[in-house]
Chains A and B, each alone.
Chain A
Amino acid sequence: MTIGNLMMTQLEHHHVLTALVENHPGVLARMAGLFARRGYNIESLTVSVTEDPAISRMTIVVAGDSMVLEQITKQLNKLIEVIRVVDYAELPSVLRELALIKVNAEPRDRSEIMQIVEIFRGRIIDMGERTFIIEVTGGSEKLDKIRELLNPYGIKEMVRTGIIAMARGPRTA
């Protein structure tokens, strides 16, 4: 299981699922165990509370064809604490991810880097002697792109939250 290394090129075979689950201890272990045991490939998994504190929301990016996806959905639904599973492939939706990137920032490169950050509507949230921490949100493709552009300066560290999703319009998960 790898978390947060979603590559643009892999995206075609990926699905974004959201599972609403009872906010009980052990739910995450159950989900993770299910994925490991049945050999499903998770690209990213995020968990957080929702508008209802009794319910958590997991957003899962998984690889696989439609047969695999159907099995994953059904197996998730079999877990007693899973309330509902939604496949965002079927809905108009917004997908977002946040990345923090620590990049080398030598004085001569700083203005260039700041320009890149601006174009991607990111922010510099920490400025050290020789490094910046850049915060940027967006779809996975955008994050892949900025990483690519910052690469020549030397990325020292990167962390991504994994995707979260929400349906457009009045529909809720």
Chain B
Amino acid sequence: MKMSGAHVVLECLRQEGVKHIFGFPGGVLLPFYDALYDCQDIEHILVRHEQGAAHMADGYARATGKVGVCLATSGPGATNLVTGITNAYMDSIPMVAITGQVRTAVIGKDAFQEADITGITMPITKHNYLVKNPEDLARVISEAFHIARTGRPGPVLIDIPFDVNKQVIEWDPSTYPKKVDIPSYRPNIRGHEMQIRKAAQVIAEAERPVLYVGGGAISANAQKEVTELAERCNILVTTTLLGKGAIDETNRLSIGMLGMHGTAYANHAVNNCDLLIAVGARFDDRVTGKVDKFAPDAKVIHIDIDPAEIGKVRFADVPIVGDVKLVLKELLKHVQPRPWSEWNDQIMEWKKLFPLIYPKDGKLYVEYIIDQVGEATNWNLIMATDVGQHQMWAAQYFKCRKPHHWISSGGLGTMGFGLPAAIGAKVACPDSTVVCISGDGSFQMCTQELMTASVYELPVITVICNNHSLGMVRQWQDLFYKQRFSQTSLEASPDFVKLAEAYGCVGIRVEKPEEVRPALEAALKVRKKPVVIECIIPTEENVYPMIPAGESVSEMKQRTDLEELKASLNTDSEAWSFSEEDKVLSEYVEEAESVQTP
């Protein structure tokens, strides 16, 4: 068949099962967009900024586990993708980014809108390609998808010059490779049998084991296996920010997130354990703090698909390289049931001593907003977040019940990620409720994508937690820089309600706790429009607990009113509001009170 390079690309994407592309056109992409004009099978979502396209593809991938696809023109279009690609790279998200490039004849000559995007993205992609010959398109595209989704997933960029898209070649679509084999790239997915047996034995011998589960368990779709291991062995599970959803967080074995703003009990558990079972996690510095004081007495079983993660930060006594799901399945053949332990009781005791808690004093807190979002949706929603304090509160209080229900920028911490990621998730899962928890700062970094959501009638709900401040930076200034609040006030912001309306969205402003639920209920009823709910929250609130950067658990800061809050929780539970988890906690407190200690 005679077809242009651009038609070959589209046909390859179709064969890869691509249904949506997030993109933005430009000069060198004219042949591609021309071919797209007739394409029935792939919907192109026209964004308002290429960064939005990359984040949407990212959110799409996080919500489904499938490869997200974004597209941008040469030069500025391509460089606008850079933040989004880096974000996907840091969090190991499968993505294929396609960029237009100037004609092959002028590459290297500083042509109009030329940027060396393969050079620029070398350190932020799993792999990238510059296709100089249309005959190579099919092979390159099949390899790109294969590399993006297998092994440790990640973004792959394909740079296609104008003439390569334009040139007509003879190509038979039935020759598109169904299976890809790259001899120099064959990820090891089956864990080593001996090591798996050894892990089972180490688990059997441990007195104080803890499961530490990261994003790798989400990419491997291993919720079932993680839960089964936890339940069979009665091992409590803490997850990283990206691991949320690897176990249903309403499961009594879940002890929430660990790390800098993790729960105190998860951090105490890790700090005191004698066996740390790391599953698809990479010992990030926001998790470990000071590395040599992290889980100091623990043996480590480290299961990861990426051999380079093992031993990178922490020595692994039992290293297992392989797909998390397959390895856990194998492991489950060897582990024996363990009873509920005193060690678990100890962790529950910490939970009682250091609960996640916040006051119900008439002020509007993000913790409460998250609780309300959860209750209004039965905790069955996809929650996307931006970056800052609101993100950490959301991570602490959102009881994530399913994998792919939590979409947050971890490794890169990219402000502006939330809204486009939520849009990508909504495109992928139109029947799911998608709520973006954003901040007044972050929201303004990709606001323009409200227009995209509006045009495509995507009813995503964005909750802007407006503290009139770059809250997270302000918090560090408050705690470590003598309250010198340099450049962190956002006193002057647009009227977010009017702004939403200007983009054709529904805007609602909320100033009191009792207004939150009605606003959410109203928003959930909106069918064809995005909704923005601006919540006015106090500026001075800080996120606790907090382990300062580079410190260990012993330096953990708690909220100063912790004891008062706990006391009122016991005496008059009506007077205080607490998260789902702490309702369980209050029952536990009652139970504990009724048991007489000698």
Contacts and interface: CB of A to CB of B under 8 A. Distances in A.
Given A29-B119, A30-B122, A80 B308 contact: no
Interface in A50-82: 67, 70-71, 74-75, 77-78, 80-82
Contacts of A67: 311
Given A22-B184, A83-B184, A74 B308 contact: yes
Given A67-B311, A71-B308, A74-B308, A80 B122 contact: no
Contact of B306 (A21, A70, A78, A82): A78
B183 interface: yes
Given A80-B182, A80-B184, A81-B184, A71 B312 contact: yes
B592 to A, nearest CB: 45
B308 A75 contact: yes
17 contacts: A21-B184, A26-B122, A26-B130, A29-B122, A30-B122, A33-B123, A37-B123, A67-B311, A71-B308, A71-B312, A74-B308, A75-B308, A80-B126, A80-B182, A80-B184, A80-B185, A83-B183
Contacts of A81: 184
A74 B183 contact: no
Q: Which 3 A-B pairs rank lowest in CB-CB distance, beginning with the nearest?
A: A74-B308, A83-B184, A80-B127
B218 to A, nearest CB: 21
A71 B122 CA distance: 19
Interface in B178-193: 182-185
Interface in B124-146: 126-127, 130
Interface residues of A, number: 19
B147 interface: yes
Interface string B468-491: 000000000000000000000000
B184 A33 contact: no
Interface centre among B122, B184, B312 (most CB of A within 10 A): B184
Given A26-B118, A78-B306, A80-B127, A70 B184 contact: no
Binding site of A, secondary structure by majority: helix, strand, loop or mixed? helix
Contacts of A70: 311
B307 interface: yes
Interface of B: 118-119, 122-123, 126-127, 130, 147, 182-185, 306-308, 311-312
B122 A33 contact: yes
A67 B118 CA distance: 30
Chain B contact residues: over half helix, strand or loop, or mixed?
mixed
Nearest to B185: A80
Nearest to B118: A26
A82 B184 contact: yes
A87 B184 CA distance: 18
Given A22-B184, A26-B118, A80-B127, 13 more contacts: A21-B184, A26-B122, A26-B130, A33-B122, A34-B123, A71-B308, A71-B311, A74-B307, A78-B308, A80-B126, A80-B185, A82-B184, A83-B183
Contacts of B312: 71
Nearest to B321: A74
Interface string A2-46: 000000000000000000011000100110011001000000000
Nearest to A55: B184
A13 B536 CA distance: 59
A74 B309 CA distance: 9
A71 B308 CA distance: 6
Nearest to A72: B308
Nearest to A37: B123
Contacts of B147: 80
A77 B151 CA distance: 13
A26 B183 CA distance: 18
A55 to B, nearest CB: 10
A22 B182 CA distance: 11
A37 to B, nearest CB: 5
B318 to A, nearest CB: 16
Interface in A134-162: none
Contacts of B182: 80
Contacts of B185: 80
A1 B337 CA distance: 53
Nearest to A82: B184
A100 to B, nearest CB: 32
A83 to B, nearest CB: 4
A33 to B, nearest CB: 5
Nearest to B182: A80
Contacts of A29: 119, 122
Contacts of A37: 123
Given A33-B123, A71-B312, A77 B307 contact: yes
B5 to A, nearest CB: 20
Contacts of A21: 184
Contacts of A34: 123
Contacts of A83: 183-184
Nearest to A70: B311
B149 to A, nearest CB: 14
Interface in A77-114: 77-78, 80-83
B144 to A, nearest CB: 10
